[in-house]
């Protein structure tokens, strides 16, 4: 079956239906574009056809462009991308003009988009070229242009059409932030024209086609005297918008995301010229963005590889291991969050703590999240009752009977954890998989307390559990394949992204974050201006500077981890200089945001005011401050070298997991596509050269790992060597 089919009824209304076989959601491929173009041609030239309805046979309209196609398009180089995009423009323009005479604007046939559900990316750009957009009143549907989230921007006319339809200011949230909305919200915002009951969708579309006048088919921008809503750039109001937008984009992106800048340029320049020229300008900027290594790295990590991991790319072969009954031990911050996400995904949960009070508090955490959802109109009272009914809060381990997965989230103490393992294993069935949420204790060591170590695994969530999308699954030495499959199936049920790593100190994410924080603190001890440290981090795309990050995660936790690491490493421990600052801060009672005092000062409500002035007397600023680039290199290499070592040591077995995990786990500069993508971007040889300089100045922690040196010598890239790509995309 082709992706698009057309039928024409007795009243002369042609319906073009989108239905990509073997996919639950329509996505646009190059061939499909050609096909829909041919069908539109047929309908426009067929005298028996009065008008066209464009719709979908699925519950949704479309999820967007197949981003693999974009990756393919790039292989032909910039000219091929530009030509391909211009062809798409020509086809959409054909729909928009619908056979009318370009001068008199008469003689066109009405084309309406009828959206049964979600319409994203090209799934909205195509309707935007139609003469009317009618959507079914489906509150679950999402409508919008999310391209910016994967490092590109709407390049099939969406940027130019939406700006001309709504004005630059009103279009900004949809274009610049990728804001999605329900059909009703989309109607209120002017993205679409009409919302009708789902069962009336096609009838209403047909009614509109048959009653549309010639004037209904002419887009405002094709009429004489069209003025952009809110004003074009040289209009006084437009001027304010564009100056503000430029500042806003730089503040939000720190200038590291090429797509946002290019989008604004396309909007600004496009607003000064006629529509068809604006489309050409959009195509040029879009081509520029597609050819930028940052965009391809973002698409690769945040879309293609994330999706592959979500689908269980590294799942061992085993029958379906979906979780039916989950036991969560420890109803503290993490346990309560895990109970919520599981219950929300339809899993029955038994939540256990030492006292009934503590267990109830854990359950109340879910209630709090659901209540917030109700306030925002995202959750119904029924849904709340349903989710809460799935969580049993108790102190009684016997309630775990029949559980097929346990996640332990008690205190970070091997003795307490071992005791819990014994108690659980005494009541659960022999098939039950046991997972620990430990963040620092090696899984193999904890598994020693288990009578079934092959069923013992690490499932490491990040805080706050309901917001953080990464889950790190850790294989202990004896962990079996079924346990890994179980963990992966569980993570898929709760709709998070998994990475599977082998057991080693701090696993993967924490192993890379800790050196980042430590490098920041080390610089404070050296007399580097703290504002320089924090800004250098942000200007290279890290969401939080290292000092803000340690304030958020808490300084006493840092002290605890430092002490435990030192005890384990003995004489090899490398972070004495860091500890001096960290321990001194803890001694001052400055424990981070939770104590409303840390490297930053806070007001009574816990709002951050600015860097704490008390640091300067203790750690006077060096007269000679390092350059911004030097600080950035220290902060980035502290992380990426750990990622390379993790790969070298076999903790990471898949660089895709290393990149996706870094962005989702600790926000590693998303524009780069992750540590391995970034190293590919600068090249192994340059990376080794920078390491040499850093090592000479700051010590052996920056020594380039053997793997990186070897790759530099052989002129290899990570994605070439480990990801099967010919060259870094």
Residue among 226, 234, 239, 411 that touches ligand NAD (CB under 6 A): 411
DSSP E strand boundaries for 511-575:
none
User: What gap in Å lies between CA 418 and CA 205, rounded to an integer?
Assistant: 64
Binding ligand NAD by CB under 6 A: which of 211, 380, 463, 629? 463
CA-CA-CA-CA torsion sign (171, 172, 177, 182):
negative
Pick the closest to residue 474 from 509, 448, 450 (CA basis).
Answer: 509
Query: Of these, 207, 310, 371, 412, which contacts ligand NAD (CB under 6 A)?
Result: 412
Catalytic site residue 235?
no
Q: CB neighbours of 686 closer than 8 A, spacing ≥ 6?
A: none
Supply the minimum distance, in Å, between the C-beta of residue 425 and ligand NAD: 14
Query: Can you tell me which of 291, 308, 333, 399 binds ligand NAD, judged by CB under 6 A?
Result: 333
The answer to whether 331 contacts ligand NAD (rule: CB under 6 A) is: yes
Least distance (Å) between residue 592 CB and ligand NAD: 12
| 334, 449, 550, 562: which one binds ligand NAD (CB under 6 A) | 334
Smallest gap from Cβ 427 to ligand NAD, in A, equals 13
| Shortest spacing between CB 594 and ligand NAD, in angstroms | 11
Is residue 454 at the binding interface for ligand NAD, with CB under 6 A as the rule? no
d(CA 503, CA 453): 14
Coil vs helix vs strand at 354: coil
| Dihedral sign from CA coordinates of 409, 411, 412, 416 | negative
Q: Among this protein's residues, is 439 annotated catalytic?
A: yes
Q: Can you read off the two tokens belonging to residue 626?
A: 């390092």
Q: Which parts of 9-121 fold into alpha helices (H)? A: 30-45, 67-74, 78-97
CA-to-CA distance for 718 and 305, rounded, in angstroms?
A: 15
| Residue 443 in contact with ligand NAD, rule: CB under 6 A | no
- Compute and round to an integer the Cα radius of gyration of the chain: 28
User: Which of 53, 192, 352, 514 is in the footprint of ligand NAD by CB under 6 A?
Assistant: 352
Q: Which of 15, 160, 439, 672 binds ligand NAD (CB under 6 A)?
A: 439
Q: CA-CA distance, 466 to 7, in Å (whole number)?
A: 46
Tell me if residue 518 is catalytic. Answer: no
**According to CB under 6 A, which one of 149, 364, 416, 577 is a site residue for ligand NAD?**
416
Does residue 472 carry a catalytic annotation?
yes
For residue 599, the minimal CB distance to ligand NAD (Å) is: 18
Interacting stretch for ligand NAD, rule CB under 6 A, among 275-283, 342-350, 436-444, 483-491? 436-444
Which phi and psi (to 5°) does residue 44 adopt? -70, -30
> Which of 173, 332 has the CB closer to ligand NAD?
332
Query: Which residue is catalytic, options 425, 472, 519, 657?
Result: 472
Which H or E run contains 50? none
By CB under 6 A, is residue 328 in contact with ligand NAD?
no
135: three-class secondary structure by DSSP: strand
- Residue 420 in contact with ligand NAD, rule: CB under 6 A: yes
Q: Binding residue for ligand NAD (CB under 6 A) from 66, 96, 282, 353?
A: 353
Collapsing DSSP to helix, strand or coil, 224 comes out as coil
Using the rule CB under 6 A, which residue among 95, 209, 304, 409 binds ligand NAD? 409
Distance separating alpha carbons of residues 383 and 656, to the nearest angstrom: 36
Active-site pick, 439, 469, 502, 518: 439
Query: Interface residues for ligand NAD in 546-575 (CB under 6 A)?
Result: none
* Max CA distance (Å), the chain: 87
Contact map string, positions 136 to 165, toward ligand NAD, x by CB under 6 A:
------------------------------
Give the CA dihedral 519, 521, 527, 530, nearest 10 degrees: 100
Using CA atoms, how far residue 544 sits from 247, 305, 538, 540, 669, in Å, is: 20, 24, 6, 11, 10
> CA 486, CA 135: separation in Å to the nearest integer?
39
Q: Which stretch binds ligand NAD (CB under 6 A): 23-31, 223-231, 435-443, 661-669?
A: 435-443
Task: Point out the residue whose Cβ comes nearest to ligand NAD.
Answer: 332
> Which lies closer to ligand NAD via its Cβ, residue 180 or residue 351?
351
Q: Which of 241, 294, 438, 518 binds ligand NAD (CB under 6 A)?
A: 438
Using an 8 Å Cβ cutoff, are 50 and 251 in contact?
A: no
**Structure-token pair, residue 586:** 């803890």
Q: Which residues form the interface with ligand NAD (CB under 6 A)?
A: 329-335, 352-354, 358, 409-412, 416, 419-420, 437-439, 460-461, 463
Residues designated as active site: 439, 460, 472, 510
């Amino acid at each position: 079956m082709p992706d698009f089919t057309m039928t024409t009824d007795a009243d002369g209304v042609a319906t073009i239906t989108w239905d990509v076989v073997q996919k639950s959601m329509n996505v646009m491929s190059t061939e499909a574009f050609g096909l829909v173009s041919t069908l539109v041609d047929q309908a426009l030239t067929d005298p028996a056809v009065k008008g066209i309805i464009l719709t979908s046979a699925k519950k949704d309209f479309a999820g967007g462009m197949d981003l693999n196609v974009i990756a393919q398009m790039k292989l032909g180089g910039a000219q091929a991308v530009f030509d391909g995009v211009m062809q798409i423009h020509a086809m959409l323009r054909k729909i928009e003009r619908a056979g009318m005479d370009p001068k008199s604007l008469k003689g066109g046939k009405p084309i309406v988009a009828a959206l049964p559900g979600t319409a994203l990316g090209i799934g909205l750009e195509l309707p935007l070229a139609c003469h009317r957009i009618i959507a079914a009143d489906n509150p679950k549907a999402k409508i919008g242009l999310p391209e910016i989230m994967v490092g590109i921007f709407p390049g099939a006319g969406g940027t130019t059409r939406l700006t001309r339809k709504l004005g630059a200011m009103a279009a900004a949230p949809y274009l610049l932030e990728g804001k999605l909305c329900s059909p009703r919200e989309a109607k209120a915002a002017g993205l679409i024209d009409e919302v009708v009951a789902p069962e009336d969708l096609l009838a209403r579309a047909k009614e509109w086609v048959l009653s549309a006048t010639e004037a209904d088919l002419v887009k405002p921008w094709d009429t004489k005297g069209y003025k952009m809503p809110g004003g074009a750039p040289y209009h006084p109001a437009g001027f304010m918008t564009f100056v503000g937008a430029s500042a806003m984009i730089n503040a939000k992106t720190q200038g590291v995301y090429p797509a946002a800048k290019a989008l604004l340029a396309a909007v600004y320049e496009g607003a000064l010229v006629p529509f068809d020229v604006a489309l050409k300008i959009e195509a040029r900027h879009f081509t520029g963005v597609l050819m930028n290594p940052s965009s391809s790295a973002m698409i690769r990590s945040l879309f293609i590889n994330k999706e592959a991991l979500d689908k269980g790319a590294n799942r061992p072969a085993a029958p379906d291991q979906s979780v039916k009954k989950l036991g969560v031990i420890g109803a503290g911050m993490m346990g309560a969050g895990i109970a919520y996400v599981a219950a929300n995904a339809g899993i029955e949960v038994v939540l256990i703590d030492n006292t009934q009070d503590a267990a109830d508090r854990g359950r109340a955490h879910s209630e709090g999240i659901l209540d917030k959802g109700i306030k925002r109109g995202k959750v119904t009272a029924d849904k709340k009752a349903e989710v809460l009914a799935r969580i049993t809060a108790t102190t009684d381990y016997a309630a775990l009977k029949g559980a097929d997965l346990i996640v332990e989230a008690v205190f970070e103490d091997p003795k307490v954890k071992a005791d819990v393992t014994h108690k659980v294993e005494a009541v659960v069935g022999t098939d039950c998989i046991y997972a620990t949420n430990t963040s620092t204790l090696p899984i193999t060591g904890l598994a020693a307390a288990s009578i079934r170590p092959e069923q013992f695994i690490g499932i490491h969530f990040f805080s706050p559990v309901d917001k953080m999308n990464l889950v790190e699954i850790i294989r202990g030495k004896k962990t079996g394949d079924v346990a890994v499959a179980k963990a992966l199936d569980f993570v898929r049920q709760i709709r998070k992204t998994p990475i599977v790593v082998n057991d080693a100190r701090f696993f993967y994410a924490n192993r890379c974050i800790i050196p980042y924080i430590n490098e920041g603190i080390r610089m404070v001890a050296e007399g580097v201006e703290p504002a320089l440290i924090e800004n250098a981090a942000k200007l290279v795309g890290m969401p939080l500077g290292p000092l803000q990050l340690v304030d958020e995660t808490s300084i006493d936790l840092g002290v605890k981890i430092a002490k435990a690491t030192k005890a384990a490493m003995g004489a090899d421990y490398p972070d004495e200089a860091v500890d001096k600052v960290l321990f001194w801060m803890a001694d001052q009672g400055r424990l981070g945001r939770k104590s409303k005092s840390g490297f930053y000062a806070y007001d009574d409500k816990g709002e951050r005011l600015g860097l704490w002035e008390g640091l300067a007397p203790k750690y006077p600023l060096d007269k000679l401050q390092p350059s911004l680039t030097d600080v950035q290199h220290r902060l980035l290499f502290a992380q990426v070298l750990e990622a390379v070592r993790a790969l070298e040591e076999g903790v990471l077995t898949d660089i895709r997991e290393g990149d996706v995990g870094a962005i989702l786990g600790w926000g590693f500069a998303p524009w780069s596509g992750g540590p391995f993508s970034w190293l590919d971007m600068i090249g192994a040889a340059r990376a080794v050269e920078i390491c040499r300089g850093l090592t000479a100045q700051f010590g052996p922690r920056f020594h380039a790992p053997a793997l990186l040196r070897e790759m530099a010598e052989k002129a290899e890239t990570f994605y070439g060597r480990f990801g099967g790509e010919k060259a870094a995309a």
